[in-house]
Amino acid sequence: MEKIKHHSSAPLVLIIGGSKVADKLPVIQKLLPRAQKILVGGLVANTFLAAQKKPMGKSGFSKELVSMAAKILKSASRKIILPQDVVVDIVSTKKKEITVVETARVKSNQRISDLGAKTINEYAAEIKKAKTILWAGTLGIAEEPVYAHASLALGRLVSGMALGRVFALVGGGDTVGFFHQHKLWVDYFSLAGGASLKFLAGERLPGLEALKTGWFSRR
């Protein structure tokens, strides 16, 4: 974690997804000066798209953090790459009706469920340039196999580059579980989840402070 925070080799690429937007945006802010590219998915991407006034339909996003996302985009629009196209389904029907649309064309009855092929290809091109990768959060509703394509395709790419070509860290229980489920391996897995993100965002962690000042530090 210290390597990502202070000593990562450039280019540093962040892959940030999942549903815990409140945990992820501070990490993006903290690492903006050092990251070359930030690739987003999940509710994190949806919140950035909402900040751009893109139609969200029935998609989940963090309404209270849209203004924060807008400020981040204003300060670093060239670093943050947003989805061009997305996989959507129609929420109101029992049978899944799945299609791919541009982000500007999401209809009122549709829900964003994964990244589209154009976006996956664009993200892959940026990942291939990386020397250090931090991945936190899956890129779609990855617990449903039909919506796990982006996470799986890019996960395979990252896994193939790790353990030699790049230093890759994957954090968070859901993301680590997804990688293990699909037998994808990287240099370091962190199950700390929110705590690891708070560490990367520069927040004080009482447990670490105790280790620094307590009995262990005096041995």
| Residue pLDDT, tens place only, 73-110 | 999 889 999 999 999 999 776 777 899 999 999 999 99
Note whether 107 and 97 are within 8 A (CB): no
pLDDT at 63 over 60: yes
Tell me what percent of the residues of the chain surpass a pLDDT of 70.
Answer: 84
pLDDT of 1: 62
Mean pLDDT of 126-144: 96
Ordered strands of the 85-90 beta sheet: 98-102, 85-90, 110-115
> Comparing C-alpha atoms, which of 201, 200, 219, 203 is closest to residue 211?
219
Of the two residues 20 and 199, the one the predictor is more confident about is 20
Work out the mean pLDDT of the chain and round it to a whole number: 89
pLDDT at 5 over 70: no
Note whether 205 and 11 are within 8 A (CB): no
Measured between alpha carbons, how far is 191 from 87 in angstroms, rounded to an integer? 28
pLDDT of 219: 53
pLDDT digits (tens, 9 = 90+) for 24-47: 999 899 889 989 999 999 999 999
Confidence of residue 8 (pLDDT cuts 50, 70, 90): confident
pLDDT of 200: 65
pLDDT of 95: 73
Residue type, 87: V
pLDDT of 141: 96
pLDDT of 73: 96
Alpha helices in 87-205 (DSSP H): 117-127, 149-161, 173-181, 194-200
CB-count burial class (<10 Å; 0-12, 13-18, 19+) for 208? exposed
pLDDT digits (tens, 9 = 90+) for 184-218: 999 999 876 666 666 666 666 555 454 455 544 55
Mean pLDDT of 168-179: 93
Domains in the chain, start-ordered, CATH in brackets? 11-83+113-203 (3.40.50.1260)
